[in-house]
Amino acid sequence: MRCSEKPVPIRLRTHATMARLAYSILVTALLFDGGVVIAQQPTGDPILSAIDTDSNGELSIAELKFAPAAIRNLDTDGDGVVSREEGTARTSTAQERGGNGGGSRLGGYLEPPLSNNVPQHLYNIIVGRLSGSSATLRILFHQDATVQVVYGSRAEQLEFNTDALNFRRGAPQDLIIEGLSPNTRYFYRLNYSLTGKSAQSSEYSFHTQRSPGSSFVFTVQADSHLDENTSGDVYLRTLTNALVDQPDFHFALGDAFMTGKYVQPELSEPQYLAQRYYLGKLCHSAALYFALGNHDGEAGNRGSNVWATMTRKRFIPNPFPNEIYTGNEHREPEIGLPENYYQFEWGDCQFIVLDPFRHTTTRSRGGTGDNWYWTLGEHQYQWLKRSLEGSDAKLRFVFLHHLVGGSDRNQRGGAEAAAFWEWGGKGTSGEDEFDLHRPGWGKPIHQLLVEHGVNVVFHGHDHMFIKQDLDDIVYQLVPQPGHPRSGTKSAKEYGYQSGEVQGSSGHVRVRVGGDSARIDYVRAYLPAAEGETRRNGDVSYSYIVKER
């Protein structure tokens, strides 16, 4: 990364708030065309020592080139240059907000925002990887414990049990229940012992793979963030509302861990733990299916972060290819299978989760607004094509954080953006350029989805509820689950010119029955925000999709 100006070097001072000023220091360093001497660097400071790789007390341009993603993200126009305006915009924002010295607009967290301060709790459970014969319970205890699962197909009559496992404090483990019957709800609880004392959890449940013709419910959220614009109480209200729906599974469409917002990825680990607490309030009884977001630290054009991928895999049991799931089969050094895109069938439905980040390995140059550099990658594209061709599901749903390309440099937008780049095939000229930029691939993504009868594309990123229609496909922007006061004034700014537009917060509920599904926007309100025209759990908009 080049630097555009050469201000006079600034000598840094050491005092009690050095850690909170470190980000501003590094922003200044990015603007130098040379090294910056760090006088009396605090011993053990994790941010400065991580970047000062040769431990000589100065930050060279070579070291800054490999600085954490949150610092490199200062290049907001993607032109390979960090201008003075880009650098000072972030520090000014931080100074205005105060607090932890970090904000959500351009990043720079030194510590997790307040919404990550969750209550003390002994354990949490996230169910995942459901099949017709098995379920994975990823369990995290915050004390050393011995744990066994007892389960059965009748509530309060749990006749089977797993082997007991020893859990170390803070280390998630999987208890896999096998030999189950398909199309069956199972009930379970944990029996555990701590320092010689035995106890048991409440009773939870999960449902094995539904048979064709079955009715069921699933729910969707996006952009939970846990930043300074998140209310943990509102988020919990949303998750509690979703639990009342008794969904078989719950999709979370990224920007959950915000890894790329921290000045050093490892500083975000408390946020992974906090999300385990929140999601565990629902996903002990609804399997979690996660789609990566742009802030989750695994972007290929920033160098996919091994730590972020391994931490996400440690806490979240995303599917990998097996008898029910297909997905990314390419193993990566140190990571193995990334578990970043996958598909499966349930009842009469096909579910496809895409990742537009990991395989986008280049960046925009020159800020021209040309977003052809965004891509699924040919392997994921061909897998998507085969997945659509190989299914005769009556209803089909696609999930991803944002469209591949979007409408601007920040990848905003829905139906209006669907005509462009790899997603829709058009370039800046408005002409079809797909074969020029993706020779031999065949058709843009949107056209594939149209031809194979996809009903809904669920996407996040833009923090509202917006329902749009294009070529018989619904483009459904999913609202945030925990924003206390979200509005809609940014809709047109983000490129949305049509559709039903509502603010956050809440979740999307989908009730599947036969060859149709009803989609509801379920609102989340705290008691103080309720009134005659809005109550928690209200459905503020509904529509139906049918087999195409």
DSSP-assigned states of every residue in 451-474 = HTT--EEEE-SS-SEEEEEETTEE
Separation CA 75–CA 406 (nearest Å):
19
> What is the residue-averaged pLDDT of the chain?
85
Q: Which tokens in the block code for residue 309?
A: 């991928």
DSSP assignment letter at 267: G
Query: How does pLDDT run across 133-183, given as a tens digit for each residue?
Result: 999 999 999 999 999 999 999 999 999 999 999 999 999 999 999 999 999
pLDDT, position 56:
57
Range 331-349 average pLDDT? 97
- The residue that leads in pLDDT, 386 or 77, is 386
**Does residue 392 come out as left (phi exceeding 0), alpha (psi in the -120 to 50 range) or beta?**
alpha
Separation CA 205–CA 225 (nearest Å):
27
pLDDT, position 53:
60
Range 384-398 average pLDDT? 98
Give DSSP secondary structure letters for 85-129: HHHHHHHHHHHHH-TTS-BTTTB-BSS--GGG-PPP-SEEEEEE-
Give DSSP secondary structure letters for 295-351: TSS--GGG---HHHHHHHHHH-----SSSS-EE----BTTTB-----EEEEETTEEE
State yes or no: pLDDT of 69 exceeds 90.
no
Separation CA 157–CA 185 (nearest Å):
13
Which residues, 6+ apart, have CB-to-CB distance to 150 below 8 Å? Answer: 158, 160, 161, 162, 188, 189, 191
Separation CA 415–CA 501 (nearest Å):
13
pLDDT, position 52:
56
State yes or no: pLDDT of 297 exceeds 50.
yes
pLDDT, position 101:
34
- The residue that leads in pLDDT, 77 or 163, is 163
Query: How does pLDDT run across 3-42, given as a tens digit for each residue?
Result: 333 333 333 333 333 334 444 444 434 433 333 333 333 3
Start-to-end CA distance of the chain, whole Å, equals: 49
**Domain annotation for the chain: domains and CATH numbers:** 2-111 (no CATH), 132-207 (2.60.40), 216-511 (3.60.21.70)
Which residues, 6+ apart, have CB-to-CB distance to 328 below 8 Å? Answer: 321, 337, 338, 339, 340, 341, 342, 355, 379, 380, 383
Separation CA 277–CA 270 (nearest Å):
11
Helix (H, G, I), strand (E, B) or coil at 187: strand
Helix (H, G, I), strand (E, B) or coil at 504: coil
pLDDT, position 107:
57
State yes or no: pLDDT of 334 exceeds 60.
yes
State yes or no: pLDDT of 321 exceeds 50.
yes
- The residue that leads in pLDDT, 236 or 195, is 236
Helix (H, G, I), strand (E, B) or coil at 189: strand
Which residues, 6+ apart, have CB-to-CB distance to 138 below 8 Å? Answer: 125, 126, 127, 128, 172, 173, 174, 315, 316, 317
pLDDT, position 305:
86
Q: With 0-12 CB in 10 A as exposed, 13-18 as middle and 19+ as buried, what is 380?
A: buried
**505 preceded by cis ω (within 30°)?**
yes
Position 131, amino acid: S
- Beta-bridge partners for 342: 327, 353
Lowest mean pLDDT among 269-273, 380-384, 500-504, 528-532: 528-532
Can you give the pTM of this predicted structure? Answer: 0.83
What is the b/e burial string over 171-195, where b = at least 16 CB atoms within 10 angstroms of the residue's CB? ebeebebeebeeeeebbbbbbbeee
pLDDT, position 367:
58
State yes or no: pLDDT of 229 exceeds 70.
yes
pLDDT, position 55:
59
Q: Which tokens in the block code for residue 134?
A: 């098995």
Angle at 254 between CA 251 and CA 256, to 5 degrees: 105
Query: How does pLDDT run across 90-116, given as a tens digit for each residue?
Result: 333 333 333 333 333 445 899 999 999
Separation CA 78–CA 302 (nearest Å):
11
State yes or no: pLDDT of 441 exceeds 50.
yes
Lowest mean pLDDT among 57-61, 268-272, 537-541: 57-61
pLDDT, position 43:
39
The CA–CA distances, whole Å, from 86 to 3, 140, 368 equal 11, 40, 17
